[in-house]
Chain A
Amino acid sequence: MSGDASPSGLLLIDKPAGITSHDAVDRVRRALGQRKVGHSGTLDPMATGLLLLGVGRATRLLRFLADFLKVYEGTGVLGIETTTLDALGEVVTQRAVTVEARELVTAMEAFVGDIEQVPPAYSAVKVGGEKLYRAARAGRQVEAPPRTITVKAFELLSFAPPAFGFRVRCSGGTYVRSLVADVGSKLLCGAHLVALRRTAIGPFQVADARSPDDPGPLLPLELAVAHLPEVSLTAEEAKVATRGTILGPAGILGPYRVLAPDGRLIAIYLDRGSKASPEVVLSPS
């Protein structure tokens, strides 16, 4: 049941609103008749948009997608703060909104760069072995450690007070609803996220994504790591690499692809001091 013989590859899925990312993956499993399906980076149930799925052997390459920047488009509403920072929670405060577009843009620009985020109380981050959202529902105050994330761009697309449309490009692990809530705090009126759609993960676009019930043909799994540097091996080296043997270092920072003379992807290696060892070895196809 290693899945070596079963089809492997990537899928671009457009997650519909109202289901968890886990549910979406289950639907793809049913559509393909395959169990070995994983995803890189969840979307909240009410969010829509791009989910990158790995099928079969490709599931082992999903971790290399984590470094891709993500692009989201969404809608926020100023003046209303909620318990969950989005429209699914209860209203905590309501304030009048007198903010102008200029001030909103300035407030958003303040969040571009490396910033620290504390995961919102209702996210699925584990603290002390207990998922944050379970602790929040039980009414216990749990402090999650802040995470550093990078916001490359945070643009205002439209402003129809109290609502505004935005686009944000950011590193993985960013809580967009925290960004929106923080913009609201900065403007002193509060804000919450009402809609969110992930439009890109790295080079992958949601325009190419399909429904979880009709996922379409598998994309080559090499696409998951095409962004990593590559090293071409000799036939001899290729032979040992397929067994996952230690090689000499390539002098590259971070994981890299090792290719056979014919260009076939053999494995992903990482330099460790004077040696290079495999992160993932792909079985011969």
Chain B
Amino acid sequence: MPLGRGATAVTIGFFDGVHRGHQAVIRRTVEAASSRALVPVAVTFDRHPREILTPGTVPKLLTTLERKAGLIAELGVETLVVLEFTDDFSRWPPEEFVRRTLVEGLSAEHVVVGSNFTFGHKAMGNLAALADLGAANGFGIEGVGLLKVEGRTVSSTSIRAALADADLEWPDVALGRRYVVDGRVTTGAGRGTSLGFPTANLEVPARMLLPGEGVYAGRAYVQGASFVAAINVGTNPTFGGEELHAEAFLLDFEGDLRGKSIALEFWERLRDEARFDSPEALARQISDDVKRTRALVS
């Protein structure tokens, strides 16, 4: 378990979405590390704590572990430690967590967390407790207050709620970037009838959050290149589905995407999914969708 990298400045959190609030905490950690000649480390978990603590209430996630790791690394963190949030781990009392992870594992000299951070069995540990344990174990702590933007508190929960409502505005502001969904193009084609285009059907892990149903303009990142894309998120009731799934049409792309990893970046919502009464109505909508998608995505 010991990192063997020397003394560290550590931040801890699940960091789903790595939103601007998380970014503030992580940047503060990197700054503190820099000014104290410490190695900046982030500690996160392989699954949402609720999977163990209150199963059945796990929210859909905003970022995969891979994307989360990339975003955290971009902020200057040198090492990301991913802990298995097992049943056993969840029972560690606060002191045990501090001793095993921060002291023995990471040789932490400075710890930065959000001011609402809780830890240890039954969330008995809070910022004050961490400060006491820090004093006893040789590390200082810093709490970073929740970030507010335009009067609204930035939180993963509020971002998820907005996305589920097909609102991209708050997520863009709160994340500090456009919302991206990672997936893989499945064999077989999409059902794209709402778009009227040949679409690539995406397999997105069930635990990941898709924005609410509708048609969006965005970008698709695949094979090292990016393309303007029209994206359809829907339930496809014709096929008896209730889970949302995504399909995308990549403008100006030719070729076979089957099996390829793809990231969909959502730029703007164009409209609801719709059924079309007539070929004229569908033709007009297709034309409209293409024009608007091209105009909206640069």
Contact = CB atoms under 8 A, between A and B. Distances in A.
Given A17-B238, A75-B279, A160 B287 contact: yes
B214 interface: no
Given A73-B278, A87-B192, A90-B258, A80 B283 contact: no
Contacts of A89: 189, 198
Interface in A105-160: 157-160
Contacts of A228: none
B270 interface: no
A90 B257 CA distance: 8
Nearest to B238: A18
Interface string A41-71: 0000010000000000000000000000000
A75 B197 CA distance: 11
Q: Looking at B197, B251, B253, which has the most chain A CB atoms within 10 Å of its CB?
A: B197
A56 B150 CA distance: 70
Contact of A94 (B190, B236, B252, B283): B252
The bracket for how many chain B residues form the interface is: 20 to 34
A158 to B, nearest CB: 4
B243 interface: no
Contact of B286 (A17, A73, A92, A194): A194
A74 B287 contact: no
B121 interface: no
Given A82-B198, A90-B257, A195-B276, A165 B193 contact: no
Contact of B251 (A93, A94, A164): A94
B78 interface: no
B238 A163 contact: no
Contacts of A181: none
A99 interface: no
B198 A87 contact: yes
A16 B284 contact: no
A91 B253 contact: yes
Contacts of B196: 75, 77, 87, 163, 194-195
A27 to B, nearest CB: 13
Nearest to B201: A88
Contact of A162 (B238, B250, B287): B287
B279 A165 contact: yes
A160 B288 contact: yes
A161 interface: yes
Q: Looking at A17, A87, A89, A157, which has the most chain B CB atoms within 10 Å of its CB?
A: A87
Contacts of A164: 283
